[in-house]
Amino acid sequence: MKKKLFLSPPHMGGNELRYIQEVFASNYIAPLGAFVDRFEGTVASFAGVKAAAALSSATAAVHLALRLAGVGEGDRVLASTFTFIGSVAPILYQGAEPVFVDCDESWNADPKRVEEAIVRERPKAFVLTHLYGQSAKVDKIAEICEAHGVTLIEDAAESLGATLHGRQTGTFGRFGIYSFNGNKIITTSGGGMLVSDDEEAIAHARKLATQAREPFPWYEHEELGYNYRMSNVLAAIGVGQMEVLPERIRKKRQIFAWYRELLGEIGEIAFMPEIEGAMGNRWLTTLTFERTDPMKVMAALEEEAIESRPLWKPMHLQPLFGNARRYGGEMSEKLFARGLCLPSGTAMEREDVERVVSVIKDAVC
């Protein structure tokens, strides 16, 4: 049987099992414990922020960020349309109305569209996605949001370790979100992190994530909370994964470089760009075909036991959001129709990339 090449499978670094054994020895299996604190501190230090809250998912982190930003029933919230549902669904959790903003040539949110939407819609917040591990033009967007009193929430779920002008994505707005889902650059199997320089807000997030329990001997509740905390076991995995994050980023970028080298001669192929001053983590190598149907390429890869995936279907095209207002949409629609994500697991070697490229070349030619 042919070796299966997955899109972005987990890749353990070596110390995760030792840390899990420490958790089992301590018997702090459930939420909270030394490794939760350690994981939060490690991520906060890496990102360069004052505080972090380890949660059950990045979607939970977006939800808490919206709650802390005061988003409620009837409010409008801007969101990148070219993204995954997890960054948008929490807007509905809060009874708010999503308004979608298209991307520009960078594949990330267009600052001009953002400003136009803010002026017209007067939203309370903007959930900005850093797509496929590449920084958006977040410095410009942060200035626009600040000028209009809009809370910027950075969905950096895919971009842990990506920077713009040396600053980590997820740290330009009031809140940043990272994901540790099984397919991310590092994983805790499932989980997320909410980060901010607002230490009081993060402390409140931790409370909300543990059912909003008040400090009494009994269970006392004055506000609505959620079961959103990360377990000590998963946090132990996260601590081990953070130790190899720089190595994982280097390997992801190497894999992208191999793809670009081997496919660069095909004129109809274009890769997701990296904006000036940015260094992405290249979570997934993504490209578009000018003429070839990407579904044809995807089918050819599947025949060879190689996993691939279309680019995100824009949120404004999703039936769930059929009546949502949007600013633009043509760029993300074109990318969705012409694009593909390629296997980018950090255990891949050059010969694996060559195997993928060979199939693509046959399908294109």
d(CA 354, CA 342): 12
Q: How open is the CA angle 151-275-340, to the nearest 5 degrees?
A: 95
Distance, in Å, from the CA atom of 251 to the CA atom of 239, rounded to the nearest integer, reads: 19
Q: Which tokens go with 137? A: 């033009």
Report how far residue 162's alpha carbon sits from residue 154's, in angstroms, rounded to the nearest whole number: 13
Q: Which residues pair with 340 in a beta bridge?
A: 287, 310
Q: How far apart are CA 99 and CA 223, in angstroms?
A: 28
Whether the model pTM is above 0.85:
yes
Query: Which CATH code, of 2.30.42.10, 3.40.630.30, 1.10.150.20, 3.40.640.10, is assigned to 16-242?
Result: 3.40.640.10
CA distance 107 to 206: 33
Measured CA to CA in angstroms, residue 43 lies from 29, 49, 258 at distances of: 21, 9, 29
| Helix or strand holding residue 77 (H, E) | strand 76-80
Average pLDDT by stretches of 10, the chain with 365 residues: 94 96 94 94 98 98 98 98 98 98 98 98 98 98 98 98 98 98 96 98 98 96 97 98 98 98 96 98 98 98 98 98 96 98 98 98 91
Instruction: Compute the distance between CA of residue 70 and CA of residue 5 in angstroms, rounded to an integer.
Output: 44
Evaluate whether 260 touches 332 at the Cβ level (below 8 Å): no
CATH number assigned to the domain with residue range 245-364, chosen from the 4 options 3.30.420.40, 3.90.1150.10, 3.60.15.10, 3.50.50.60: 3.90.1150.10
- The predicted pLDDT at position 20 comes to 97
| Residue linked to tokens 């939407």 | 117
pLDDT (0 to 100) of residue 1: 80
> Which tokens sit at 110?
């267009």
